[in-house]
Amino acid sequence: MRIYLHIGLQHVGADRLQSVLRAKRDQLLANGVLVPRAAGAQNHTRLFMAVTDPDHIDTLRYNRGYITAEKQAQLRDRLMADLNRDIAAHRPHSLILSAHQLGTRISRRSELQRLQALLLPLSSDIRIIAHVDAQARLLPEIFAEQILEGRTADLARDLDLTRQDSWWQAALDTFPKIDPRAGQFEDSQGAPFWLDFNGLQQFWEEVFGTECFSYRAYDAPLFASADVTDEIEAAFDLAVPIGKATPISHPAPASFPASAAWLTRGRQFNTLLLKLLARGDHILPRKLWRQMIQDLQVDGAAIDPADLGEITSFFAEDNARLCERHPALSPALFDLEATPGAWREADPQMGFRASQYLTAFLHRIEKATQEERAAREVDLQAQRHSGAAHQRRHHGAGAETRLSETARPETTLSEAPLSELARDMMPPRAIENFAQLQTSSLKPHNRVGTVDEKTQAPPYTEVLPRSLPEGQSGNVIVGCMKNEAPYILEWVAYHRMIGVDSFLIYTNGCTDGTAEILDRLQDLGLLQHRNNDNWKGNSPQQYALNQSLREPVIRNADWVIHIDVDEFINVRCGNGTLDDFFSHAPDATNVAMTWRLFGHNGVSALSDQPVIAQFDHCAPQFCPKPHTVWGFKTMFKNIGAYKKISCHRPNKLEEDRRGRVKWVNGSGRDMTSEAVDNGWRNSRKSFGYDLLQLNHYALRSAESFLVKRQRGRALHVDRSIGLNYWIRMDWNDHKDVTIQRNLPRLEAEMARLLGDPVLRRLQDNGLRWHRAKARELQQIPEFESLYSQALQIKLSATERVAWSLALDMES
């Protein structure tokens, strides 16, 4: 097996290559090429974090919670176990590992040796690949990224390095002593040593051997195009073509507008902020740091690479030699206009004073310090002691003395304990995950949002369904069902009361009276029902959604909503109707309705009481992991922007309508750049529940879960619903009664529907069928065991996250 180690570099398309490799992962694996998930979902940061020296804490290790040597060692052991397992299972002829941090943050020989020691048991055939661009084009982008992470030095410092004989060594000499509490990291404060491409190659070849290293040119238009796969095939010696990639015709805007004036503001602000942190009274989360720098934004011209002429001139001879040695490089790549001596730091504009902003931000810093100290203080204190020991072993007593001079007494905070029940039931990997979550930014909590979820508020007033002109279908739900008889009427009645005008429901394989209930509702003019027993393809749900595009009720809709019968749109503003939400987001065309996962709430038996009344405990609002918690379904305006409806969202954007599309989250905030092309879950930047959330009652009662387990899934027909599903979905930590403001008008509409004797009979028959099926299943050992195990599991939110992350995600 050959290992291809792609080490970046940063800002030269590494993220684009990684994105395409991720999208093509299954196709590559079928051809004997493994792009392992074990090292990271896309950027293989776990590999990088596993090999750095224990005292070499960079911003990534700090943010991810791998501060101590012990946690780093646990990460390394898990990584190698997972890699060995995947390689044994798939027996690939090629392994691709890609992380730009390998090329841009590893500067110690001991770290390369550790990386080599990890890889050699897998294969001795290792090839190193890096993409490059002209140094003067890269430096402004690096500088902007460093400003977001706390850099204080002007670019003049980096330009001065061109007066030294060795850029590599001169850059390393700018590295500060690492002190996470004080915001001092090598990667954020030091000059980019790796711009010395010759030095970088020599550094890697000294450990991995000569002739193993290849440079390739970064071509921005090619990387953005569908033909980027040509570069991937060439770089990784792929014998079988992998087809085209999805082009980036309209790249997402950068997370920061890198105007030169804004960078000056950020640098000056960082200088003051680091002085504050040096006192030792504050610890600042990296996320808040970046937010504050972004709040300083001001428009203006970006840094012109031509003004960095000293850089271009300094590396000219080295770059020429590189082109001779590496056929994939050409002199044109490095041919830049250069004006030596032209650099001047931009004016920050408008009388900017960093001290005024620091004073304004101080209350945010104080609040964040309390949370950050609680989350990281134990690890930071442990790191100080282990760091001193490492310095003593590797740098002598003098370094230890300097470290101790800055040490301050710390307050030790204990981790939240793992419950005895969880310790007995959770596998070892889950217990490790729990410990890591205590100091991780991924730890779940409910300290966000503006809505009081625990207090019963006055009920919403009833709004009768509106009458629509002929040929218009208004707000339409298209859904799929199989054996959902007891739940249909509540779901239809609820959504009629909040402003849904029409329903198009597909069914397949129903034996509990679901089809008959829907037929009766169709007879009453309340929805349209379609039989989907003859579905084709991978799933009945996707087949139904494809067919729905031909239906007049969809073609004539104002808004289209695809949700399931266990999902309820919970509008949390105004009178709780869709129109109330639309008034808060008048320009929106797509609404990402983020799931709020509700657990079984201690209810074991099937009941005829409303679902929204029985189940009122759910997942915390802040819960980035597991991936299912922040999944969303989409409500989209019928403007013809997308050609396909998929399970979570519309897809296949029409390019000529891109400019008309605006995605918002459940708080009404714009998230277009994140969601316009793909994706079905929110991120830490885009989640929001203030105005609307999608209550997801995936389990309902324990008996209902058994019946669902026997029925199977609508979309993932090849995946079972077992105990793992229960663990990931049974969230009972936080009370949320906001949807219950709808109960009076729901009950009124239910009474109207059940006034029809046929519907009443069908509803009663459906409930009896499900109760009988639950009793029947409990007589089967497999189901009885599942039922008993599920009811025994009682977890905190953090325990549930830890266990979920350790699970086989297919079940």
Long-range contacts of 170-174 (CB under 8 A, 24+ apart): 171/195, 171/196, 172/107
Helix axes 69-90, 428-437, angle to 10 degrees: 140
The tokens describing 802, both together, are 């830890």
Q: Please answer whether residues 55 and 186 qualify as being in contact, where contact means their C-beta atoms are separated by less than 8 angstroms.
A: no
pLDDT attached to residue 379: 61
Whether residue 237 lies inside any domain: the answer is: yes
**Residue 69 CB neighbours (<10 A):** 17
- What does the pLDDT read at residue 109? 96
What is the pLDDT at residue 86? 94
Among 558, 498, 548, 508, which residue's Cα sits nearest to residue 528? Answer: 548
Domain boundary among 354, 371, 386: 354
Same domain? 343 vs 480: no
Residue 567 forms beta bridges with which residues?
A: 696
Phi, psi of 105 (to 5 degrees): -125, -10
Reported as half-sphere exposure (CB side, CA atoms, 13 A), residue 783 has a value of 18
What is the structure's pLDDT at 766? 97
Q: Where are the alpha helices (DSSP H) in 540-598?
A: 540-548, 552-555, 578-584
* Measured CA distances, 761 to 192, 485, 578, 728 (Å): 74, 11, 31, 36
pLDDT along the chain (811 residues), means of 10: 95 94 95 94 94 94 88 93 94 97 97 96 97 96 94 96 95 95 93 97 95 95 95 96 86 58 96 92 86 91 92 94 96 90 92 92 86 64 53 40 29 58 88 89 92 95 92 97 97 98 97 97 97 91 96 97 98 97 97 98 96 98 94 97 96 95 97 95 95 98 92 46 88 97 97 97 97 94 89 95 77 29
Residue 78: what residue type? R
Q: Report which of 785, 769, 759 is spatially closest to residue 711, judged by C-alpha positions.
A: 769
**Regarding beta strands 557-562 and 33-34, do their DSSP bridges make them parallel or antiparallel, or are they unpaired?**
unpaired
Q: What is the pLDDT of residue 630?
A: 97
Report the distance separating Cα 558 and Cα 541, nearest Å: 22
Q: How many CA atoms lie within 13 A of 291 on its CB side?
A: 11
Task: Specify the 3-state DSSP secondary structure of 443.
Answer: coil
DSSP 562: E
> Which of 253-289 are b and which e, b meaning 16 or more Cβ less than 10 Å from the residue's Cβ?
eeebebbbbbbbbbbbbbebbbebbeeeebbbbbebb
- In a domain? residue 376: no
Name the residue type at position 679: G
Residue 27 lies in a domain: yes
In a domain, residue 555? The reply is yes
Domain-embedded: residue 392: no
Q: At 93, phi and psi to the nearest 5? A: -90, -15
- Main-chain dihedrals φ then ψ at residue 95, nearest 5 degrees: -125, 125
Q: Residue 602 is encoded by which pair of tokens? A: 């201690």
**Mutual orientation of helices 260-278 and 135-148 as an angle, nearest 10°?**
50
| Domain assignment present for 194 | yes
Q: Of the candidates 339, 354, 369, which is a domain's last residue?
A: 354
Can you give the pLDDT at residue 808? 53
Taking the CA of residue 806 as centre, how many other CA atoms within 13 Å lie in the half-sphere pointing to its CB? 21
Among the candidates 354, 375, 392, a domain finishes at 354
> Residue 252: what pLDDT?
44
Average pLDDT, the chain: 90
765-776 per-position pLDDT tens digit: 999 999 999 999
pTM higher than 0.75 for the full model?
no
728 and 589 part of one domain:
yes
β-strands 502-507, 528-531: how paired? Answer: parallel
Strands 567-571 and 692-696, how do they pair? antiparallel
Query: What are the start-end ranges of the H helices in 280-353?
Result: 286-294, 309-314, 316-325
Which value, to the nearest 10 degrees, does the dihedral of the CA atoms of residues 531, 536, 542, 545 take? -50
Is 722 a domain residue?
yes
Which residue range is the domain that position 162 belongs to?
A: 2-354
CA 385 to chain centre: 33
Tally of domains within the chain? 2
The closest alpha carbon to 503, from 527, 524, 480, 482, belongs to 527
| pLDDT at residue 248, rounded to an integer | 83
Backbone angles phi, psi at 514, to 5 degrees: -55, -50
The encoded tokens of residue 559 equal: 């808004």
Cis status, amide bond into 97, omega within 30 of 0:
no
User: Does residue 454 belong to any structural domain of this protein?
Assistant: no
